[in-house]
Amino acid sequence: MSGKKGGNSGARNLLPPNKPGERRGGRQKGSRNKLSEARVEEELRRIALMDPLALFQRVHGTRRAFTLREIADMDPEVRACIASVKVKTENLTTGDNKQDQTVEIRLWNKVNALELCAKHFGWLTENVAHTGEVAFRWKTKDEP
């Protein structure tokens, strides 16, 4: 065993070298993760028009009972709108000695997405007023 301290550079050296035009992880530069105006518009459209009901499915036999869908079973359009997921295990009912899971799903801000879309399409303009004074002074031939 060597007395060197440091990172795990040995594991990095075991990876095959990247091919030209390839990033670590095997994705090509021209993959679907490339950012373009059309892609940004699509992502904003997803967030702005997402229906939260798509996160849930009806429980059989009841009119108003819903359960959260598994994330893997959600459409990609719905999954793109999820900002974060928190799963907490806690005892919700005192004295029952039972652990319950609570799932908190945060969605991206719909109002911000709509505002960005409105600005992009020119439906919304920002008026910026600048105030102040500017003094101009011309030099004469006599001044150095």
Would residue 11 count as lying in a domain?
A: no
Would residue 132 count as lying in a domain?
A: no
Whole-number Å distance between alpha carbons of 113 and 107: 11
Would residue 45 count as lying in a domain?
A: yes
Burial 104-132 (b: 16+ CB within 10 A, else e): eeeebeeeebbebbeeeeeeeeeeeeeee
pTM above 0.75, yes or no: no
Domain count, the chain: 1
**DSSP secondary structure letter of residue 53:** G
Would residue 71 count as lying in a domain?
A: yes
Would residue 16 count as lying in a domain?
A: no
Would residue 94 count as lying in a domain?
A: yes
Whole-number Å distance between alpha carbons of 76 and 50: 11
Residue pLDDT, tens place only, 47-91? 999 999 899 888 776 677 788 899 999 999 999 999 999 999 888
Domain boundaries, position 94: 33-117
Would residue 103 count as lying in a domain?
A: yes
Would residue 28 count as lying in a domain?
A: no
Position 2 scores a pLDDT of 44
Q: Which of 3-12, 37-46, 84-93 has the lowest mean pLDDT?
A: 3-12
